[in-house]
Amino acid sequence: MTDGLWRPLLFFDLDDTLVDHRGAEEGAQRETFERYPDLVEGVSFDEWLSTYRAKNRPLWDAYGRGEITRQVLQHRRFFDPLEALGREASRADEVGDFYFSRYRVHWRLNEGAEEALEAASGLGFVGLLSNGFIEQKKGKIARFRLDRWAKAVILSEEVGAMKPDRRIFDAAVEAARLAGAGGDGRRVYVGDSYAHDVVGARAAGWEAILFNPSDGPPPEPVSEVRTLREVAALLEGE
């Protein structure tokens, strides 16, 4: 029997690690594109989606640095791309409401997510650690009943810091301690973002596993998996 105090902490990212966020985003954006033909006339879907993504990245970065509020982010996530395309940006909130009503319909787990969590829960104390909005994240956890494995959920909005800030990783250790899991042993974080997940985890003294299905080279060497099915072997083998 492993001493409970020394159980490794095995935490997972949600979006684009366990949950296929980009697929859901694309599905909801396709419906949004089709719902507002007058707004997107003459624009291809690929241009619409790539403009949305390009305009959203700096908004999330600014939100992460505390430079804009959640309300501003919510408004500008459609205002900025509509404006960039020369469209009626005053309708941003209407479009955003429709998009979010469809986004949740497209949520799916990535292949192997449940197997990875199941294997991890046999090896250590499992938790979820995620940036983003509380209700979206809790909605995903509830939809897929991820609390079957995850005994702690650490969300940036509740901590008041976003990855790669080490405070969110420290909050995970504290939550594990409160749950009686120690936290002084091995700590591993599995996520898809080198900049947020790998950099943040390492700076906080955790090991990182990069979920990298696209196989693009990371900036620095790191333990990588192409599929979530490989996570268990990596956790067991080390």
Cα–Cα distance for residue pair 152/179, rounded to 1 Å:
8
3-state secondary structure (DSSP) of residue 157: helix
**C-beta closer to Mg ion: residue 33 or 223:** 223
Judged by CB under 5 A, the stretch of 82-90, 102-110, 156-164, 190-198 that binds Mg ion is 190-198
Among 7, 15, 87, 206, binds Mg ion (CB under 5 A): 15
Q: Is 16 in the site for Mg ion (CB under 5 A)?
A: yes
Q: Is 20 in the site for Mg ion (CB under 5 A)?
A: no
**C-beta closer to Mg ion: residue 60 or 100:** 60
Residue 192 C-beta: closest distance to Mg ion, Å: 4
Residue 152 C-beta: closest distance to Mg ion, Å: 18
Among 20, 25, 165, 192, binds Mg ion (CB under 5 A): 192
> In whole angstroms, how far apart are CA 149 and each of 49, 52, 152, 204?
34, 34, 9, 23
Judged by CB under 5 A, the stretch of 23-31, 134-142, 192-200, 224-232 that binds Mg ion is 192-200
Count the residues of the shown chain that bind Mg ion, applying the rule CB under 5 A: 4
**C-beta closer to Mg ion: residue 15 or 207:** 15
Cα–Cα distance for residue pair 2/47, rounded to 1 Å:
53
**Buried b / exposed e along 100-131 (16+ C-beta atoms within 10 A):** eebbeebbebbebbbebbebbeebbbbbbbbb
CB 8 within 8 A of CB 188: yes
**C-beta closer to Mg ion: residue 16 or 20:** 16
- Summarize as ranges the residues that interact with Mg ion (CB under 5 A): 13, 15-16, 192
